[in-house]
Amino acid sequence: MNPELSSLDLPMIFAGLMGISILAYVVLDGYDLGVGMLMPAATPDEQNLMVASIGPFWDANETWLVLGIGLLLVAFPKAHGVVLGELYLPVAVMLIGLMFRGVAFEFRMKALGWHAELWNWLFWFGSFVASLAQGFMLGRYITGFESGFGYWMFAFIVGGSVCGGYVLLGATWLVLRTEGELQKKAYAWAKWGLLWVALGVALVSIATPLASATVYDKWFNFPRILWLMILPMASVAAGIWVWRSLRPEVADWKPFAGAVAIYVLAFLGLAYSIFPYVVVDRMTIWDAASHDSALTFMLWGAAIVLPCIAGYTVFSYRVFRGKVREALYK
């Protein structure tokens, strides 16, 4: 390890690693949560194809969530205590939803008759509950965990918008991975999801500066605002790209690529708004960071673990690429 890494460098490195992990989770697990929420809108045969499209990936996608929370715990223990303390109930609800999902995924393959339909609905329920909880946590986090009815209602609205955003990812994933009648349905589902994404991005963009004078100053400072407008303009351009690409005659990878671009741009905007705070206006990454010796030791572990996770992720997507034509998980 380079001995010249300073107390300034190490917290920034771990903040970057944690951000990458969370973004990877949102994009990768977001599309399979979205597919789960779309299950009731499909026929039984289509449901089997939808599950087959995410089957090789969905469980491994959650590794990124574990990594992100693990990095928060070991690198920023003070912030971990504050954030998880404030979000204890929604985190528990999210975990319950993910457990429902995992059990339903396995049991639906073995169940017969009405039991199979029950597990399909529980797969939808688990996907919806986990997505809503994640959006609720985002709404609470960006408003600095302020109390009051308005803040709680805002968090629920953001939760609904995140559900819609995951539906967009899920629908565009189905455009990429399926064909025929199911793909046609996915085009329509993606348009509804895109409208929800627009709502969610608008709400977060408005609420974050209003909740924090620091964020307001970062965005509405002339002439800084001139080059910052690149982010919202690029987000609008990505949204238009997705909308215009939701046609059978357009390459089927374009909608999913555009949806991922929207999430990346929104993440960059949120990261810029919050940095250097890990708890908005209360605790910076340097205030919350572990001792330099602990961070140095953990960086060696991250240097081993991250390439392994990224490597098997890329490998699995390469092996199972292409259209899904057979229901393997039924």
Domain ranges of the chain: 11-319
| Residue pLDDT, tens place only, 214-264 | 777 877 777 777 777 888 899 889 999 999 998 888 888 999 999 999 999
Residue 243's identity, in one-letter code, is W
- Measured CA to CA, the distance from residue 249 to residue 234 in angstroms comes to 24
| Residue pLDDT, tens place only, 67-123 | 888 888 888 888 888 888 888 899 999 999 999 988 888 887 776 676 778 888 899
- Measured CA to CA, the distance from residue 285 to residue 10 in angstroms comes to 10
For position 328, what pLDDT does the model report?
61
Separation in Å, CA 110 to CA 43, 58, 101, 142, 284: 18, 19, 15, 42, 49
Average of pLDDT values for 164-192? Answer: 91
Which position has the token pair 């917290």? 11
Using CB atoms within 10 A of its CB, is residue 62 exposed (0-12), middle (13-18) or buried (19+)?
A: middle
For position 130, what pLDDT does the model report?
94
| Residue 24: pLDDT over 70 | yes
- Our measurement of the distance from residue 112's CA atom to the centroid of its chain's CA atoms, rounded to an integer in Å, reads 33
Q: Give the chain's radius of gyration (CA, Å).
A: 20
For position 321, what pLDDT does the model report?
85
Contact yes or no for 126/110 (Cβ under 8 A) = no
Peptide bond between residue 223 and the one before it cis (omega within 30 degrees of 0): yes
Which position has the token pair 């602990």? 294
Confidence at 330, pLDDT banded by 50, 70, 90: low
Confidence at 142, pLDDT banded by 50, 70, 90: confident
The segment with the largest mean pLDDT, out of 43-47, 187-191, 198-202, is 187-191
| Residue 4: pLDDT over 80 | no
Taking the complete model, does pTM exceed 0.75, yes or no?
Answer: yes
| Residue pLDDT, tens place only, 255-304 | 999 999 999 998 888 888 888 888 887 888 888 888 888 888 888 888 88
Q: What is residue 146's three-state secondary structure?
A: coil
Average of pLDDT values for 22-33? Answer: 92
* Residue 222 backbone dihedrals phi, psi, to 5 degrees: -85, 135
Average of pLDDT values for 294-320? Answer: 87
Considering all CA atoms of the chain, what is the largest pairwise distance in Å, rounded to the nearest integer? Answer: 65
Average of pLDDT values for 306-329? Answer: 82
Q: Detail the DSSP E strand segments found in 184-325.
A: 277-279, 283-284
- Our measurement of the distance from residue 174's CA atom to the centroid of its chain's CA atoms, rounded to an integer in Å, reads 17
| Residue 161: pLDDT over 60 | yes
For position 170, what pLDDT does the model report?
94
